[in-house]
Structure 1
Amino acid sequence: MEIFERARLDAYFTKIAADFVPDEKTAAFLVTHLLPERPSFVRAVAAMTALKAVLPKPKSISPAARREVEHTTAVDTLTRELFTDPDTALDYLESRAAGEEMTCLLDVGGYFAPTLETVHSRFTGRLAGVIEDTENGHRRYEDLDKLPCPVISVARSPLKDPEDFLVGQSVVFSTEAVMRGRGDILHGRPALVIGFGKLGSSIARLLHAKGVQVTVFDIDPVRRTQALSQGFTVARDREAALTGAGLVLCATGAVSLRGEDFAHLRNGTYIATVTSSEDELDLAGLPDVYTRTQVGDHVTRYQTTGHYFYLANGGNAVNFIHGASVGPFIFLVQAEILAAIRILTRGDLAPGIHEVPAADRAAIAATWLNYFNR
């Protein structure tokens, strides 16, 4: 990022932080993809809160961004296990924010969900609530029997639509680049897109525009009708769809392929995902008879007698190979997260899932246009 671009981004976030300054200061923990442009967002969170720690997603850490953030904020190691065990989660939060009058958890992927009820009831401070960025995380909180505090989700915000569309584009770009690196191409290789949400539909449309034969599989009948109306072949049977595919793109935010599914793949199939392997792929369920061999940049061959397939980027989000950039549109969603901080600190939301008001979204969009539509 050029110096003038960084200066514009910092000015944008300074404006957003001023527009949505909370009435009360809250402690905060921030889970984030620590990508090259992310320090500006981190600084904005720190300006609006007492930021106790940044917890970067393990597969998306820029060393330079980490070093920059570490100058002013603690950067801790993030794992699913950290917030799976109630005692471990509580010990961690107490070590950073014991007795805080108000604490917000800024999440990407539902990390805090498994132990949220215990943490809320036993934390020596007061947990104001959670802000969640992703559809996968939204579902994790939605699936809890009872939410003990407010969760503000930006996952389904209209301001996230441009990001979701462009992430889909970046997934196809990186998948094609990985294949070309081995001398393979998209054309002539039927593709199966598992999941027809915002990301999956974007992926399917771009593949189709590139002349690829696309089949869609989704467990939601409504999404299957949407895919059919857009001209895609819709698989009735996932097993048969896997057998016919030469490229499988997983975009569900849940487990797309279980251990027994891999045996149905035809030889030489490529698999790529839009999120982490722990969310999309049950690689642990794959029979031990498969050997794993690195056969190119970011490509692993899984092979057993008479069968083999290729996995891109170790099963993690394929677009992170090339930085997963979606341009300045990501700053719309980050601004909405900042607006959500102010809403949580008011303390008037009931437990449950909430969203940022439309008026706040409009104000964010207007500010964004002033800075980035030049």
Structure 2
Amino acid sequence: MESPEKARLHDYFRRITEQFPACGDISSLIITHLLPERPAFLASMARTSTVAAVLPKPKSITETTLTEVRRTHPVHELSRELFADPTMALDFFEVTVPNRDVVLLDIGGYFAPSLAPLADKFSGRILGVVEDTQNGHQRYASTDQLPYPVISVAHSPLKECEDHLVGRSIVFSTDALVRTRGDILTGRGACVIGFGPIGRAVAHALRPHDLRITVYDKDPVRRVQAHSQGFRTTASCTEAIHDAELVLCATGNMALRQRDFEGLRNGAYVASVTSSEDELDLGSLAGLYRRTAIGDQLTRYDVTGHYFYVLADGGAVNFVHGAAVGAYIHLVQAEIIAATAALSHGVYEPGLHELPSSDLQAIATIWLDHFAR
């Protein structure tokens, strides 16, 4: 990022933090992607709260960004197990933010399993959670009696701008990796599993490649939506993937399991738009399929008479090329800052919430002033 762009971004986040000031002395635990634009967001979060820990998503770390962030913030290793185990979660909180008021910034529902145990035993006070993704939203929505408020930006109108470009970046990276084997997307049968905001964006981004696109979603309403937008739909995942030469998984909720992999067409390419542990049950193939790395970010799985390829080791395929969506990512980051400030004021009851439209309009106005000139 060049100096003028850095200055513009700094000024943008300064206005956001002035528009949405936090109340009191709060700390934050931040799960995040460590991409090149992320230090500016973390610096703005440091003006809103004391950043007690940055927890990078394991498969979306740029080493130069990690080095830069470590100079100013404590960085900890992230895993699902860390917050799935109540004892481990409590130990982490007591070491990192003892007796503190804390806001949790999440990408993918990592904190969801530990909220109830922490409510009873943590020495500090959890003010709430800010969740960024659809799969994380689902995890919190399925939690019985949330003990804290959770502000989700997953369904925000501001995030729709990002979702559209994420779809394009996913298809770009998929195409680039398929080409490393001398293949192209054009003319193939493709399947998109999941027709939420990202799956919808992926399906539409595939259209210019002249593929035969089939959509499957377990929700019949979404299948109707896909059908109305000109996509072929099926009533089962098994039928959807049967003849697909490209399978893109966008459910955030374990799209493919062992029996699904076994039903893939020979030579099919499989890609995920989110974390591999959320989307692909690759662990079920251990001892059944031979796993061979055949190039950068491309893995072949084979057993006698059957083989297929997994892109980016099952992780979010767009992160292979930085997952860049331009300045639109700063809309969502601003909404996360605003949600953090809102939680510090203690106005939300336990349960799932979204920011009011007046806050989104204020963010959009500031963004237009800085990035739409």
TM-score of Structure 1 vs Structure 2, range by shorter chain:
over 0.9
User: Structure 1: which amino acid aligns with 2:22?
Assistant: P
Give the superposition deviation at 1:63: 1.4
Aligned to 2:9: 9
How do 1:1-374 and structure 2 match up within 5 A?
1-100=1-100, 102-286=101-285, 288-374=287-373
SS of the residue 2:269 aligns to:
strand
What amino acid is aligned across from residue 281 of structure 1 in structure 2? L
Length, aligned pairs only: 373
Q: CA deviation at 1:65?
A: 1.3
How far is the alpha carbon of 1:25 from its aligned partner? 2.2
The two structures, once aligned, show a CA RMSD in angstroms of 0.9
Q: Output the CA distance in 2 between the equivalents of 1:67 and 1:85.
A: 29
Q: TM-score, normalised by structure 2?
A: 0.98
Instruction: Indicate the SS of the match to 1:332.
Output: helix
What's the TM-score, normalizing by structure 1? Answer: 0.98
Cα pair 1:260 1:286 within 8 Å, conserved: no
Q: Alpha-carbon deviation of 1:214?
A: 0.1
Contact 1:299 1:313 in 2 (8 A): yes
List per-residue Cα deviations over 1:191-237 (Å, max 9, x = no partner).
Answer: 00000111111111121222111000000010000010111110123
**What letter matches 2:42 in structure 1?**
V
Encode CA deviations 1:314-343: one digit per residue, 9 max, x unaligned: 000110110000000000000001111121
Structure 2: how far apart are the matches of 1:220 and 1:278? 22
Instruction: Tell me the SS of whatever aligns to 2:52.
Output: strand
Cα distance, 1:287 vs structure 2: 5.7
CA distance in 1, matches of 2:70, 2:285: 39
Q: Give a deviation string over 1:17-58, Cα, whole Å, max 9, x none.
A: 111111222111111001111000000001110111111111
Indicate conservation of the 8 Å contact 1:130/1:152, yes or no: yes
- Percentage of identical aligned residues: 54
Pairwise CA distance, 1:289: 2.8
Q: Distance in 1 between matches of 2:262 and 2:194?
A: 20
Tell me the alpha carbon deviations over residues 131-178 of structure 1, each in whole angstroms, 9 at most, x when there is no partner.
Answer: 111111111011011100100111100000011111011000000000
Q: Which runs of 5+ in 2 are unaligned?
A: none
Counterpart Cα distance in 2 of 1:196 and 1:183: 29
Could you tell me how far apart the structure 2 residues matched to 1:241 and 1:211 are?
18
